[in-house]
Structure 1
């Protein structure tokens, strides 16, 4: 799969890790082209067995400062413009959540509005000390992002964030258990890559199954969710990679996985 010809992103794959960098100066605002590209990128990564983890970050001073409001359709515009726009916006987040491998958001600088939701769509979040999340919709007479925010924030903090449009900084995000780490800005990418390398060293099919379990069981009752997880374990038990992992553990050597 070639990732050449992208306008808004750069993609690098090395050591089973894909680094996806938003590159739409000055603040990686999201327009239709941005959304079409991110969908294509993550759909492709989903189907690439050589990719075992993804790091998503932004070039420059911002992770993503949100939607490009110049492209938002007006209520008096062409019939159907808003449904098409909203469908594309949802897909730009869903592709990250539905990608078969774990996605680590390395949040550098501002993640505002749609940029905040994009970060919250990742599986694991790490932030630089100067990073912040903010949902500014109420400042411009809009609303959105509540469901994504509630997945990561406690109820009071979620309401505070949405209803005040406050900036929640990296150290505060760590205190709230929204991010897994808050590190000096210079250490952000290495921290995210370190997590990606840990994940990439595990049984690939098992990691994909674990992500699938998080997706499927999020809204399930406990017994139904655990029943699904057990079905995943049964399916994995007969795979070549699981046998290799168990044999390597017994033989005290590094396993060699084939994605089978």
Structure 2
């Protein structure tokens, strides 16, 4: 598959309009430069594949992602310009998930720590296994980062508790805090994520992409401006073939056939 070959740290499978992106960098899917370059390539490619209508991101083995590979960090301080380049790549490795036009489901199968936690929080829908946890451990190693992503999903007190203590927030706690949409037994995680993905894939593809754009673009807008933008999306969608097909299928009580236009 063009753009998804020669991957070292990932596997990508596409079937029935759903792409499953699996992090495969044992033992804990730590994120290094190659990892970040590959995840950008993967999500940029999936963004442009009209046959992919939902994406699941998960980890192989016992971890979702244990965060940044700290073995790379010592050299950054000794080379002029190394930190700006590094930070730009790190941001892009998160932005590619948030900016991908296709909804992304995080199937959090185990520890998601530091940059791994942020990566999960960049996804559109989060589901966790009972043995999974999120943790921001930057204060334990004298670093900082991730606060802005954390406060998108956690309440103010819980966000501060998480950042200041580096505490592990387990799957059941994440459900109680309304951070994840589901917390299920480990063996049921991927079936749960696939079920959500199939539901999304059955909807009007252009409409789900428009909805994701609305979430991304209106998050920081005032209510009036945000809703006005959403209305413009509805107007644009109303003339598309897929919207007309969805409305005909609803009236005729049959399954719609979408063409992505």
TM-score (norm 2): 0.99
For residue 201 of structure 1, report the CA deviation from its aligned partner. Answer: 0.0
The CA deviation string for residues 80-137 of structure 1, in whole angstroms up to 9 with x for no partner, is 0000000000000000000000000000110000000000000000000000000000
Show the counterpart of 2:55.
54
For residue 5 of structure 1, report the CA deviation from its aligned partner. Answer: 1.5
Instruction: Answer yes or no: is 1:105 the counterpart of 2:102.
Output: no
Show the counterpart of 1:28.
29
8 Å CA contact 1:31–1:71 kept in 2: the answer is: yes
For residue 4 of structure 1, report the CA deviation from its aligned partner. Answer: 2.5
Show the counterpart of 1:259.
260
8 Å CA contact 2:138–2:144 kept in 1: the answer is: yes
8 Å CA contact 1:73–1:82 kept in 2: the answer is: no
Show the counterpart of 2:207.
206
Residues 66-75 or 8-17, more deviating: 66-75
Instruction: Answer yes or no: is 1:94 the counterpart of 2:75.
Output: no
Residues 234-243 or 69-78, more deviating: 69-78
Give runs of ≥4 in structure 1 deviating > 6 Å.
none
8 Å CA contact 2:17–2:54 kept in 1: the answer is: yes
8 Å CA contact 2:9–2:35 kept in 1: the answer is: yes
CA separation in 1, counterparts of 2:248 and 2:73? 55
Instruction: Answer yes or no: is 1:189 the counterpart of 2:190.
Output: yes
For residue 100 of structure 1, give the secondary structure of its aligned residue in structure 2: coil
For residue 63 of structure 1, give the secondary structure of its aligned residue in structure 2: coil
Alignment of 1:70-89 (within 5 A): 70-74=71-75, 76-89=77-90
TM-score (norm 1): 0.99
How many pairs does the alignment contain? 260
The CA deviation string for residues 54-74 of structure 1, in whole angstroms up to 9 with x for no partner, is 000000000000000011254
CA separation in 2, counterparts of 1:244 and 1:181? 32
8 Å CA contact 1:73–1:85 kept in 2: the answer is: no
CA separation in 2, counterparts of 1:237 and 1:76? 53
CA separation in 1, counterparts of 2:26 and 2:251? 51
8 Å CA contact 1:73–1:81 kept in 2: the answer is: no
8 Å CA contact 2:114–2:135 kept in 1: the answer is: yes
For residue 61 of structure 2, give the secondary structure of its aligned residue in structure 1: coil
For residue 107 of structure 2, give the secondary structure of its aligned residue in structure 1: strand
CA separation in 2, counterparts of 1:17 and 1:196? 7
8 Å CA contact 1:12–1:18 kept in 2: the answer is: yes
Unaligned runs of 5+ in 1: none
Q: Per the alignment, do residues 75 and 50 of structure 1 end up closer, same or farther by CA in structure 2, a change over 3 Å counting?
A: closer
CA separation in 1, counterparts of 2:207 and 2:78? 48
Q: Let me know the Cα RMSD of the aligned residues.
A: 0.7
Instruction: Answer yes or no: is 1:152 the counterpart of 2:153.
Output: yes
Show the counterpart of 1:179.
180
Unaligned runs of 5+ in 2: none
For residue 75 of structure 1, report the CA deviation from its aligned partner. Answer: 5.9
For residue 258 of structure 2, give the secondary structure of its aligned residue in structure 1: coil
For residue 77 of structure 1, report the CA deviation from its aligned partner. Answer: 1.0
